[in-house]
Structure 1
Amino acid sequence: MGKVEPREIGGILFDKDGTLIDFNRTWFGITMELAGLAAGGDDARARQLIEAGGYDWEMKKFRGGSVVAAGTINDIVDLWHPELSLEEKRRLIREYDDYTVKEGSSRAVGIDGLQATLEALAAQGYVLGIATNDSEAGARATATALGLSHLFSVIIGYDSVLRAKPYADQLHLFAEKTGLPPRKIAMVGDNAHDLEMAHAAGAGLAIGVLSGNSTLDDLAHLSDVILGSIAELPAFFAKRSDG
């Protein structure tokens, strides 16, 4: 992937959790509830499952790149229920997906300045989209609950494509639906798999944000640009008109 100038970008594709949504404030309680169900009400076992999923009890946050922070519901079910048959796992995935669509949207906490940032980028002429390892239904429900659906031209979940992040499929689907070539698309995310997808798909820019679970060290080698949060994007992309 070759870095392009901001003025060459026409579309911005966002990861959802940790990038648009405050990950820990939105998902810790939900994940604890699912772990409690998986553990049959055993609190100690539930804490073990949460820790296996990537929660750092000292830091009080999920680690960047961990199964809960970066994986799909399929990955969580595989981790927590390795003993189940394939059909049993499929049933549980459907149940977990239904639960997270409802709870994830109703409890979603946006990153500071979320709506103003997206409105500013739309006013600057960018085509906006979401690409998440949550389900498409979950992403749509969250966007609707936060009153943001009208700002996104395309919303893509792990189940919208054959292969979830870090594969290129989600960004390529965004390109297909918008008519923008990948090199005119910027991918914005808080986890390595977001930026790995950008590279795999030939995106114009891979932009890391530190608003989620990853550190500067986690993202530096994969990012063309690292920002504190998406709130810095309108000023960054204003450079498009400078040249």
Structure 2
Amino acid sequence: MNGIKGILFDKDGTLIDFQKTWFAIGDRMALKAADGDRVRADALMAEAGYDFDRKCFRADSVFAAGTNADIVALWYPEIGVEERQAMTVGFDTFTAEEGAAASVPLPGSKDAISSLHGSGFRLGVATNDSTGGAEKTLLALGVAQMFDAAYGYDAVANPKPAPDAIHAFADLTGLKPSEIAMVGDNRHDLEMAKAGGAGLAIGVLSGTGTRETLAPLADVILDSIADLPGYLASA
């Protein structure tokens, strides 16, 4: 098993279906930012990474990989620092509640989490969503009790692709970074794994990333985390 004893998961596109969960929520955020102007809202969605032709979010786009602070900075470039911070808090609250309520688990993800937890792996989440959003989503999925911690962008000094969440999880669990696997569907997940000295950088094709975008950074690429217990058992 390459000495892996802990696993950090990205949330959106790794544990839950990114497209099914987030398009409607993002669209409502964009409509608010556009003051109800449908054409302008569509332009904002495209700017943040939604491909209307393919009906999906682009890999490594602001919406797929960034934080709510990044979205506010993109959509409200003219506002001041205090207003931007207040807007970000509002977005965090909105996405935490709505994202958890709308979260659609990826096929096989809950069984995989249960299997890994039962095998003794320490489990955590590292996401560029808010910490509250991550915790509410784990509760909504019925798997919160199997996780040691959830780290949102607001739980660490520097969010992904910085290695802060890996170091925090290592400190919490007593594991070395080399004993932790990072699993995610975007390049910033794998960049964090490399920066933090994680033992494995595992890309999954269940989100917005593709084999082409993930391959340069991944130690292994799986279709989804449904394949993870079998992979770790045979590694």
- TM-score, normalisation: structure 2: 0.99
**CA offset digits 1:96-135 (Å, max 9, x no partner):** 1110011000000001012111001111111110000000
Q: How many residues align?
A: 235
Q: What's the offset of the Cα at 1:140? A: 0.3
Aligned to 2:186: 191
- TM-score, normalisation: structure 1: 0.96
The equivalent position to 2:61 in structure 1, one of 57, 60, 66, is 66
Aligned to 2:215: 220
Q: Which amino acid aligns with 1:10?
A: K
Q: Take 2:78 and 2:214, find their aligned partners in 1: how far apart are those partners?
A: 34
The equivalent position to 1:174 in structure 2, one of 169, 192, 195, is 169
**CA offset digits 1:123-178 (Å, max 9, x no partner):** 11111100000000000000011111011011111000000000010111111111
Q: Secondary structure at the match of 1:8?
A: coil
Q: What's the offset of the Cα at 1:12? A: 0.6
Aligned to 2:7: 12
Q: Could you tell me whether the CA contact under 8 Å between 1:7 and 1:239 is conserved in 2?
A: no
Q: What's the offset of the Cα at 1:7? A: 4.0
Aligned to 2:136: 141
The equivalent position to 1:201 in structure 2, one of 196, 199, 219, is 196
Q: Could you tell me whether the CA contact under 8 Å between 1:54 and 1:69 is conserved in 2?
A: yes
**CA offset digits 1:38-64 (Å, max 9, x no partner):** 000000000000000001111111011
Q: Which amino acid aligns with 1:118?
A: I
Which stretches of structure 1, 4 residues or more, deviate above 2 A after TM superposition? none
Q: What's the offset of the Cα at 1:235? A: 0.5
Q: Could you tell me whether the CA contact under 8 Å between 2:109 and 2:225 is conserved in 1?
A: yes
Using the aligned pairs only, state the percent identity: 52
- Where structure 1 has 5 or more consecutive residues not aligned to the other structure, the ranges are 1-5
User: How well do the aligned residues superpose, as a CA RMSD in angstroms?
Assistant: 0.7
Q: Take 2:16 and 2:167, find their aligned partners in 1: how far apart are those partners?
A: 23
Q: Secondary structure at the match of 1:160?
A: coil
Q: Could you tell me whether the CA contact under 8 Å between 2:15 and 2:109 is conserved in 1?
A: yes
- Where structure 2 has 5 or more consecutive residues not aligned to the other structure, the ranges are none
